[in-house]
């Protein structure tokens, strides 16, 4: 089964905040990532967080990590129509050397 789980769909109004959630099972996860995939395109790295951090903020993006519960979230402030995409949570572990384990992806639809 999946080691990384995400909800599959999120609808949000333009200007509101979006919160995308992810859970993972591997306690040796070292880095956790958020990738964005726009229609017909490959994946682009949005942000990542090291497992000994609780929070990371980068402009409109805030990543929260609860290591005890193995829960990761991505908050997008002031969501825009250009934020409509599929968002993937991924993890790498100390023995994976760059191999990423992805979740199924959350499709975010931003409505006017």
Q: Could you list the residues that contact another protein (CB under 8 A)? A: 2, 4, 8, 30-31, 40-45, 48, 50, 88, 92, 94, 96-105
Instruction: Please say which residue, 98 or 112, places its beta carbon nearer to another protein.
Output: 98
DSSP codes of every residue in 44-82: EEEEEEETT-SEEEETTEEEEEETTTTEEEEEESS--GG
46 or 64: CB nearest another protein: 46
User: Cβ contacts of residue 30 below 8 Å, gap of 6+?
Assistant: 50, 51, 91, 92, 93, 94
Which CB atom, from 63 or from 78, has the smaller least distance to another protein? 63
Rounded Cα distance between 29 and 91, Å, is 6
Which lies closer to another protein via its Cβ, residue 44 or residue 111? 44
Beta carbon of residue 81, minimum distance to another protein (angstroms, whole number): 22
Which pair of tokens denotes residue 47?
């942000």
Residue 42 beta carbon to another protein: minimum distance, rounded to whole angstroms: 3
Encoded tokens for 55: 């929070």
Report the nearest approach of another protein to the CB of residue 62 (Å).
Answer: 18
């Amino acid at each position: 089964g999946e080691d990384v789980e995400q909800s599959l769909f999120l609808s949000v109004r333009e200007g509101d905040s979006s919160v995308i959630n992810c859970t993972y099972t591997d306690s040796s996860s070292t880095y956790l990532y958020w990738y964005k995939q726009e229609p017909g395109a490959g994946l682009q790295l949005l942000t990542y967080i090291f497992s000994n951090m609780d929070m990371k903020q980068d402009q409109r993006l805030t990543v929260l990590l609860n290591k005890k519960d193995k829960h990761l979230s991505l908050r997008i402030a002031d969501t825009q129509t250009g934020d409509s995409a599929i968002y993937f949570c991924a993890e790498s572990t100390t023995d994976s050397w760059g191999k990423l384990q992805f979740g199924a992806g959350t499709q975010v639809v931003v409505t006017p």
